[in-house]
Every structure is written in structure tokens, then in C-alpha cells.
Structure 1
């Protein structure tokens, strides 16, 4: 939409709000200032080996062994190269490396480390060609503006009372932040709960939230219609009302 001229089409805006359903009790609304969703990068890594017969391994550069070595070494990035107070996740599958972090400097550290480790392992294995790296599906950090979010959070507290909660940081990623960046305006992103409250409470009492409550994009994630729909509608109206007629 931005590439197709959304900014020129819409014109001036004051603020960019957004909401998303999350695996919390339905009826709750949560937000927080600062980083709320992680930045993420997906990377395709192409390794070049050399084929040979299984009985003559000395003539080959085995990409399977090489890939296994890389996977093991990549696990050390978060454990040994990211500070304890920072958050990052490196996930490997089919030799795809995806990264999630709440800090742009950590993001650069992780991506640089991935490339450094892969190149070093390829050199150690005497690969006939250098590895190739392609970044795709890149998502910016969702970083809630403090003043904007404080205003929205106060409006939520006034309207929802105890159902207005502080949203924990989510290791999920979104392209929503591309919009406020394109418009040059502050933004606030919040979540509404979609899990049946009794189901969530039972899982919480049993200490089984991580086991029994499905998360977004799980095949079992199915938000209950109510009070999810009503809460989401009210949250959008309440957040907008906090800005309409109030400038500065």
C-alpha cells in the first residue's frame, strides 16, 4: 500500500493506532510503551558442496555435515553473543535461519554473527564456492510511542477498568510499523484477548497456560466470538475517542 502511494492518497494523519487479537482472556485489553513486538528477519542460506560416492568421502564436501555444523554453531549466538538483558531468538529449520529481537543493534549483531559463522564453517569444510545469503520477510520493530500509548492506556483504564492490562512483550512480528514510519507519525499497538476466560483461568490455575492455551497461527487458535468482538470494537472506539477533539 505504501509503495502504491497510500501516503499521498490519505494525506495528513495525527497518529496510527492498531490492535490484534492475542491468546489472553477475552474481555481484556493490553498495551505497553516501548517495544511490544519484535523485529524479525528470515534468511535463505545456500551452501555449495561437492558430490562424490558414499564410499569415497575424502573426495566430497558434504553439505549435510556442513549444515549440521552450522546449525549447532548458530545456537551459540544468543547464548554467547547477546547480552543477558537483551532478547533474541534464532530459529533454524531446513537451513533457514529466522531471527527475532526487540533491539535494532541486537538485530544487526545476530545477522552479522550468522553470516560470520556460516562463512567460517564453509571455509573449514573447503567448500568450492562461497555461501550465498538472501534476506526476505523482514519486519520492523513495533515500538509504541510513550506519549501516544499513555493516552490510549489511560482511556482503556477509564473504560475497561481492571480488564485493561499491561501487555507483555510478544516475540511475534508485524509490518504495521511501516505505516507510521511512512506517515512520520507516532503509533500505538495493543492486543485484545480472545481465549474463553474460564478456559484460560483453569489453565492458569493448573500452571498449564503454555500447554493448554493455543497461540496465534496454531491450528487450534480459535478466539471466542464474545466478548472478543465487543471488546475489540469498544477498544478501537475508545482509543480513537482519546484523540478525536484533542490535539497536541
Structure 2
């Protein structure tokens, strides 16, 4: 480990070569041309091109569109830096001059920023090889947005084909007044599961409901009843969220359909809580269908590929937080606590390898100042966040987001 003051000093030396205008151009280009999960061909090619130019040995096509760059620089630790590449099926409403040119697709979670930071950090560290020793591995991951990208890279031999990491590092852009770098030791993000429900009824004409078993009404009762699971079956000290995100039924107003489909999302932070909620979902669905007289039992399916909790190594997080305090000031780093959001980042770490994942806040100062609320949490809830069609990070975070990665890597590489 390199001392925080030394890592910060080396980072400041490398920062002088960063050009905000160049970073902004690269970022805006990625933002204009977003690509969804496992379709990030253009984004991957641009990352690969920059890594090769910086001296990395680059492998493309890992898990279809993933990119891995390796830069050896003598004996020392192996440090992995990860950034995700995929965009979301969201129609952008920011009105930015560089808004998405792809209808219905947007970088609404900031992965365009992540790749900009990753590419620039890799270039800066490559240019500053005289100040560190070891091996730097840069991972451009596809399909983070519930696409199973991390698991797919591991299945494609990520851990066998490339140097085993001593540490895995990553970060995420987040809402909040630009200029802060939240760190949470231990549990920092929740597990997530997607659940499909099929309610089987008896279809018929809208004028003769007595001859049917209406799955729409039954599914509506299920939706309402599910709202009591967290509020009435889970202890107040335990955090969980259960959301019904999809409700599909019917084809015409005067036809009672034969089935209704729901899609649920569960966020949890404790395996026992997760199992209790899953059991409650099955019980409620089966109970409502039985009460309605459905002719066939319902189907409740937990989709494979859910994401686990993200648990930062507490010691490692404390050390990197110390570097960021040294670099940006003691007031810039704080513990926001565990979030209900989920990530597949931790799946990239081989068993036993510590990892750390932190945030870079990005709300423009004028947007933050105009947001209603008297304290941080009220304002945080009022500004556009990740997955919003209005999410527009302040370009002022371009250079700082590079420096957070560079300084974290330098703190772990050999001196």
C-alpha cells in the first residue's frame, strides 16, 4: 500500500496532463451514441483503441462485447479497474445539445461517464509508469443493467485468462451536489431479484363476466396485497423494497383475458429477509388465485442471474477513502450508508479478493440549489437520479472522476 499523501501527490502530478476539453468530447460522443446490453460494439471499440494507444495488451470480445486491457510494469500488486458500458431503454428528456441520437435509448445511469473515466485513468497511469510498479488490468464490462454482464465475463474465462487481481476497484456516478465522494465500508448495495408471476383465469366476453374468472381483478388484488409484505411482515430494522414493475393483460376493452402477467423486483440486504419475502410472494399469489377460483395454479418464477449484495472490504475502503480525503479535502468524503440499488460489480472479484466501490456525486450546483428541501436527503430525493430521463451529470466531474480512479489504483500499486 502507498501512503495516502504519496498517492495524492502522484495523482496531482498526473492530473496536469488531463485535458477537460478532450474528456468532454469523448464523453459527449459516447452519450450521443448509447448502446444497450451486449450491443456495446462502438463503445467497446473506442475503449480498446485508447487502451492500445496507451500501451495495454487488449483483448476484445470477452463475453461478446467486453474489453480487457493489461499493462505490466514490473513486480508488484495486480490492480483491476472496472467500468460498465451499457445504456438503458429510456427516451432522453434532458434537452442537452449532446443528447442521445438513438431514439428510446439513453445513458440514463452514467455508464458513458464511467468509460470516459476508465479510459482516461488508464492513459494517465500508463503515462506515469515511472511512479508505480505492478500490473494494471482495465475491465470494460458489458450489460450491467440486469444483463448479467459480470457473470458472463467470468463464464468466458475472465479469472483464468488474465492476471488474478489483488484488489478490484470501481465507482459509480450518483445524484448529489457535485464534488463529493461517498464511501461506505462493508455493506454498500443490496441484492436484487426479478420475479415473474402468471395468473391463469378463464377468458370470455366483457358482457358476461359471470362466465369467466377474471385474471385482471385477481392480479390487481395481488398487487395491492403485495404492498403489505415489507410494511407488515418485515421488521423495521431490516431494509427491503418490493416493486411491481410490470402488469400485462388483455387485448381489447370488451374481452376478459385468460391470463395476466406481473413482473416484480425485490431488493434485500439480508438472505433471511430475502427468503421470507419470496415465501410471502408465493403465499399471496397462490392465496389470491385460490380465492378467485382460478382453474390452474399460478406460476411464480424467480429469474436466474439476480445480483448479490455488494460488501466493500472495510479496511480497503477506509484506506481509499483516506486517499480521496487527502486529494479532495476531508469534507468531500462521507458515509452515505447502504443503498437499495444493486450492482454485479462484486461478481468480478475472484473468491477471497477484496474490492471497493464508491460514488462520485454529479448534480450541477444550480440544479441542486433549485431543488426543494432543507437538508441533503430532501434535496437528494428531489433532483434527477440514475435511470431518470432527466439525468444529466455536471461536466465538472469529468476530471475528478478520473483522479478518484487514478489515486485509488496508485494507493494499491507498488511504489
**Is the TM value for this pair above 0.5?**
yes
Residues 28 and 231 of structure 1 are in contact (CA less than 8 Å); yes or no, is this contact kept in structure 2?
no
Superimposed CA distance per residue, residues 168-215 of structure 1 (whole angstroms, 9 cap, x where no aligned partner): 3322111111112x4531111100011113432443665662564100
Structure 1: runs of 5+ lacking an equivalent: none
Instruction: Indicate the RMSD between aligned Cα atoms, in angstroms.
Output: 1.9
Structure 1 residue 56: deviation in Å?
3.8
Bigger relative contact order, structure 1 or 2 (CA pairs below 8 A, ≥6 apart): 1
Matches within 5 A, 1:73-92: 73-92=225-244
Corresponding residue to 1:113 among 258, 280, 290:
280
2:217 aligned partner: 65
Residue-pair matches, total: 244
CA separation in 2, counterparts of 1:225 and 1:77?
A: 41
Provide the rounded CA distance (Å) in 1 between the counterparts of 2:266 and 2:343.
Answer: 13
Partners of 1:167 and 1:190 within 8 A in 2: no
Structure 2: runs of 5 or more not aligned: 1-152, 248-261
What SS does the aligned partner of 1:129 have? coil
Q: Which residue of 1 aligns with 2:390?
A: 220
Matches within 5 A, 1:172-183: 172-180=341-349, 182-183=350-351
| Preserved CA contact (<8 Å) 1:7 1:183 | no
Matched residues in 2 for 1:232 and 1:19: separation?
9
**1:199 corresponds to 2:367:** yes
Match of 1:11 in 2: 163
Question: Match for 2:321 among 140, 153, 156?
Answer: 153
Match of 1:236 in 2: 405
CA distance in 2, matches of 1:15, 1:204: 40
Q: How much has 1:222 moved relative to structure 2?
A: 0.7
Q: Return the alpha-carbon distance in structure 1 between the equivalents of residues 181 and 226 of structure 2.
A: 37
What do residues 2-37 of structure 1 show as CA deviations (whole Å, max 9, x unaligned)?
111100011321111110000012221111112211
Residue 297 of structure 2 corresponds to: 130
CA contact (8 A) 1:29 1:192 kept: yes
Distance across 1 between alignment mates of 2:274 and 2:300: 16
1:102 counterpart residue number? 269
Query: Which of 320, 330, 338 is the aligned partner of 1:169?
Result: 338
Moved more, 104-113 or 40-49: 104-113
**CA distance in structure 2 between the partners assigned to 1:197 and 1:148 by the alignment:** 31
Shift in CA distance, 191/204, structure 1 to aligned 2, threshold 3 Å = farther
Alignment deviations for residues 42-91 of structure 1 (CA, whole Å, 9 cap, x no partner): 11111110123344433321101110111111111001111110111111
8 Å CA contact 1:46–1:133 kept in 2: the answer is yes
The 2-side partners of 1:236 and 1:55 are apart by 64
Q: CA deviation at 1:123?
A: 1.6
Give the 3-state SS of the residue equivalent to 2:371 in structure 1. helix
Q: TM-score, normalised by structure 1?
A: 0.91
Normalised TM-score (structure 2)? 0.56
CA distance in 1, matches of 2:399, 2:205: 65
1:53 equivalent to 2:241? Answer no
